[in-house]
C-alpha cells in the first residue's frame, strides 16, 4: 500500500524529529538520569504509546476538530502544564529517596508508574496533536488506498521508532545516572534538576500558542 521509498523517507524524517532536542527527549533523559534505566525506558515507552494515540486522533479527525477550538487548545495545554508541574513537585519532594539499590531490587517506583506518566504527559500535550495532524497526511496518498489506513500504518511506524530511540535514551541516561547516584548528596541534586526541567517544560507548554 505504501511504497518502500515513501516508507523509508517517512522513517528517516521521523527518526530525525525524534532525535532532535525536544520536550519528550528532555523528560526521558532527566527521568533516566535521576531515577534509573527502567524509569527512563518506561517513560520513553509511555511517550511512544502517546504518539500512537495522537495518530488515532489525527486519523479519525478528532484531533483536527479539537484543535479548531482555541478554548479546547487552551484547556489541554494548561492541563498538560499542570501535570508536568505535578511530576516536578513529586520529583523535588522525594529527591534522593529513590536510590539505585532500591531501583535494582524493585522496591522503588515500578516501571509502569513512569510509563503511565510518560503516556499522560504526551497525550494531553496539544502541540503533539498538532504535529501529527500536520505531519502524517504529507506521506499519505488517496491514490494508494484508504488514507486512514495509511495514516494508522505510518503512525505505528513512528511509534515503533520512538520506542527504539527513547528506549535507548532511557537506557544510556540510566547508565550515566547509575554512576552519578553512587553519591547520595549528588542524587538529591540530580532529582532536583530533573524536577526543575519539568517545571521549565510546563512553563513552555503553558505559554505556547497554536
Averaged pLDDT, 58-79: 77
Identify the CA nearest to 91 among candidates 109, 103, 73, 66: 109
Terminal Cα distance for the chain, rounded: 33
Helix axes 37-60, 126-135, angle to 10 degrees: 60
CA 119 – CA 136 distance, rounded (Å): 20
pLDDT of residue 96: 63
Tell me: pLDDT of 94 over 80.
Answer: no
pLDDT of residue 207: 85
Tell me: pLDDT of 197 over 60.
Answer: yes
pLDDT of residue 115: 94
pLDDT of residue 65: 67
Tell me: pLDDT of 114 over 60.
Answer: yes
Query: Which of 40-44, 47-51, 104-108, 185-189 is the least confident region?
Result: 104-108
pLDDT of residue 101: 40
DSSP state at residue 95? T
pLDDT of residue 182: 67
Averaged pLDDT, 78-83: 86
Tell me: pLDDT of 171 over 60.
Answer: yes
3-class SS at 75? Answer: helix
Which stretches within 2-125 are classed as H helix? 4-19, 23-35, 37-60, 62-67, 70-93, 100-105, 111-123
pLDDT of residue 165: 94
* pTM score: 0.78
The grid coordinates of residue 129 equal 496533536
Q: Which residue has the cell 539505585?
A: 100
Please answer whether residues 62 and 129 qualify as being in contact, where contact means their C-beta atoms are separated by less than 8 angstroms: no
Q: How confident is the model at residue 210 (pLDDT cuts 50, 70, 90)?
A: low
Please answer whether residues 80 and 203 qualify as being in contact, where contact means their C-beta atoms are separated by less than 8 angstroms: no
Q: What is the mean pLDDT of the chain?
A: 82
Tens of pLDDT, residue by residue over 144-169, are: 888 889 999 999 999 999 999 999 99
Could you write out the DSSP letters of every residue in 129-173?
A: HHHHHHHGGGG--GGGS-HHHHHHHHHHHHHHHHHHHHHHHHHHH
pLDDT of residue 43: 93
pLDDT of residue 106: 41
Amino acid at each position: 500500500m505504501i511504497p518502500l521509498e515513501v516508507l523509508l523517507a517517512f522513517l528517516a524524517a521521523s527518526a530525525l524529529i525524534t532525535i532532535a532536542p525536544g520536550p519528550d527527549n528532555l523528560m526521558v533523559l532527566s527521568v533516566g538520569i535521576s531515577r534509573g534505566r527502567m524509569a527512563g525506558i518506561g517513560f520513553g515507552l509511555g511517550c511512544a504509546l502517546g504518539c500512537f494515540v495522537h495518530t488515532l486522533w489525527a486519523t479519525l479527525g478528532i484531533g483536527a476538530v479539537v484543535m479548531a477550538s482555541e478554548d479546547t487548545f487552551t484547556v489541554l495545554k494548561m492541563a498538560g502544564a499542570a501535570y508536568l508541574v505535578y511530576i516536578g513537585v513529586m520529583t523535588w519532594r522525594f529527591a534522593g529517596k529513590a536510590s539505585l539499590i532500591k531501583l535494582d531490587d524493585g522496591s522503588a517506583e515500578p516501571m509502569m508508574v513512569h510509563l503511565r506518566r510518560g503516556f499522560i504527559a504526551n497525550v494531553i500535550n496539544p502541540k503533539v496533536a498538532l504535529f501529527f495532524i500536520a505531519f502524517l497526511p504529507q506521506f499519505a496518498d488517496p491514490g494508494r488506498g484508504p488514507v486512514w489506513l495509511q495514516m494508522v500504518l505510518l503512525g505505528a511506524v513512528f511509534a515503533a521508532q520512538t520506542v527504539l530511540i527513547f528506549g535507548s535514551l532511557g537506557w544510556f541516561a540510566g547508565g550515566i545516572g547509575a554512576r552519578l547516584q553512587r553519591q547520595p548528596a549528588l542524587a538529591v541534586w540530580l532529582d532536583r534538576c530533573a524536577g526543575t526541567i519539568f517545571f521549565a517544560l510546563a512553563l513552555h507548554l503553558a505559554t505556547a500558542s497554536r
